[in-house]
A and B are shown apart, each in its own frame.
Chain A
Amino acid sequence: MGTVDTPSRARPLPLAIVLVIAYVIVFPNRAGHEIVVRAAWSTSIGLPSRLTGSSAVVHGFRLGDAFGYVDPSGILLRLEAVFHDVAFDDGHYANYSKGSEAIVVRSWDGGITASLRGSRWPLLLDRTPDALMMFAPDLLGFGEFAMDGTARWDRELGSLITCYAAFPEAVAGGLPRCVVGTLDGTVRIIGRDGADLLRVDSAGSRIAGSYGCAVSDDGRLVALFLGLDPQRLVMLNRADGTYRELWSRDMAQEVRSERIAVFSGDSRYLLIETGDGIDVREARGRRTWSVACGGALYAVATVGAEVVAETRQEDGSGELTVLVLPDLVVGRADVGVIAEGGRYLAGYDGYVLHGSAGHIGRLDVLRL
């Protein structure tokens, strides 16, 4: 665990150690704006580290066997070794080992927030400081727990959880808590009290299963991937306080794992993993665009109307693609060979944090 000493400052620009090409791309998009992608800073991650400092805004990250917090200007504020895995958001973390009998939740600066007994593994609810989700080690059940350890609700689903997405916390209007899909092809929208608000199944497909889910930032749209042969994409829309099917499509490519799918920040588009890139679909319409990327999609981060996608080739090399929705590629960057688990991507307002090969950095995506 890092201790207080001196701040670690970011170097102004990487010398292509991590981002092989740190370049500025200027492209006019359809609306006439220029998009500038700029590597703002990069800092190396090396344990052990002695750090200090504080900031009003901090961003959590995980990179291989390390995790920590950095401020938007690149000052590394905290760096720790991961025990077995770590659940974190931009304010708290829970670093836990395999045989943990208790989960300790700490604020980003290390102060203990809560200690919860039990052998479950945590998932922090983003920007919800008073509760977290805890998943059974066999993934047959999960629940929402308050920070004092009491279960607000606890469900046994009887089938392996294959996908999960949380509804945004800050949106008013009594949104549900989460969407969860299980191996038997059932997807549940679960309310704040833990009860099912809606159940959808993969009837109509030869093989039952749930293969991914996503919730839009406004909480009004839910995308589900159900079944095999065919694998269907079902879009649910919130109307009159309930969710109903808006449309469904059979997927041309089937994915037999949890499929990456992310709504754009404005909820207009759904970005979907394909074998060699991304499909961009209108969330409420019928149009689809295919964007070829270098390799299989590994992570997607939205930055306003722009998207940064990380892909991975078979040889382990990675590439970042910057995309102006729906299909205008405005930049690509080779990020070198990615070690197992040694990558990170998260989107913020106007920039992404990207980690690879022992470095964490910031890419600004600017609309001029």
Chain B
Amino acid sequence: MKTAFVAAISACLVCAPAGAYDWPVSVPTVVATFGQGVGGRFGYGVSIVGGGTEVRPIAGGEVVFAYDPARRSASVPRGPGAQVVIEHVERVRSVYSHLAPSTVTRLAVVSGSTAIGSIGDSGTALGPTLGLQVLDLETRSFLNPLMVLPLLRDAQPPVVVRTLIRRAEAMLELGKVGSATPGNAEILVEAYDLREDVPYRWRLVPYSFTVSVNGRQTLSVVFESRRYDEARLLVGAGRTAASVLRDAWLFSLGEIQLQLGETHLQLLVRDYAGNESSREYFLSIKG
């Protein structure tokens, strides 16, 4: 199951054959994943730590924008700090933020082995962190970099803290209640992912959440990509990011219909390496 899932993710390399892109640093330690933002904003890329580490592009291409505060002024306060944007073949762009000033490349064309800067803490970064985003100009989407870069293997499954259903204003924790009344119910999950290569308990957003009701997949949230002119995750449900990310590590997966009788709920949370955590709940729906 896990092998098949990993293969499926590898096959989903968008806009490039598998293996076309590589990590921008030699040893990528990811401390924030797609969806994980700052100040309540949706995070459109990943954050990689490693102060002073040389940064290379994920593939060769053309530098289409660069900003180095050591050499240029700017008309706006630049939160991303020192930055390079590279356009690759098939109209995919990669964005590298929070680079160290004075290290930003001045080249117009770079290969996959060209140094384009060093990891710094310019802009809003509170510590040495590389911000990496991947853009698909054809679909006008922010792609999840973890979907186009080589798989980072780890064996640690996501952590599911609790699963809740919300009926009207009441919040019920599944596993602690055995019954509910019929009607619409919102499913919320408090969960996060951990990685073995981060030597401290650093939480990451999981890759996907799936809810099955009585054996039928009913709800699904997948952090795959996000169109930047429609403000929604490409999950097929037309939901905005704000409606999914309710609070730190609390995700709203959508609504289900609770019908009279016995209901079997199965929750499946997956991370990018294919590790899974599942929970099963049984509810008696009574009028």
Contacts and interface: CB of A to CB of B under 8 A. Distances in A.
Interface of A: 85, 87, 98-99, 118-123, 135-140, 142, 156, 158-165, 183-184, 207-209, 211, 213, 228, 256-258, 260, 296, 298-299, 312, 340-341
B209 interface: no
Contacts of A209: 64-65
A5 to B, nearest CB: 32
Contact of B229 (A158, A183, A228): A158
Contacts of B67: 257-258
B69 A160 contact: no
B73 to A, nearest CB: 6
Contact of A256 (B66, B77, B79): B66
Contacts of B37: 138
Contacts of A211: 65
Contacts of A119: 38-40
B73 A99 contact: no
B78 A139 contact: yes
Contacts of A123: 76-77
Q: How large is the interface on B (under 10, 10 to 19, 20 to 34, 35 or more residues)?
A: 35 or more
B91 to A, nearest CB: 9
Contacts of B217: none
24 contacts: A120-B39, A121-B77, A121-B79, A135-B76, A135-B77, A136-B41, A137-B38, A137-B80, A138-B79, A139-B76, A139-B80, A156-B231, A159-B228, A160-B65, A164-B75, A165-B75, A183-B64, A183-B85, A184-B137, A184-B140, A207-B62, A257-B67, A299-B73, A340-B69
Contacts of A99: 126
A139 B75 contact: no
Given A119-B38, A163-B75, A341-B69, A256 B80 contact: no
Of B44, B124, B125, B126, which is in contact with the most chain A CB atoms at under 10 Å from its CB?
B124
Interface in B57-109: 62-80, 85, 87, 93, 95, 101-102, 108
B137 A162 contact: no
B140 to A, nearest CB: 8
A257 B79 contact: no
Interface string B113-155: 0000000000111100000000001001000000000000000
B229 A164 contact: no
B40 to A, nearest CB: 8
Query: Which of A99, A165, A258 has most chain B Cβ within 10 Å?
Result: A258
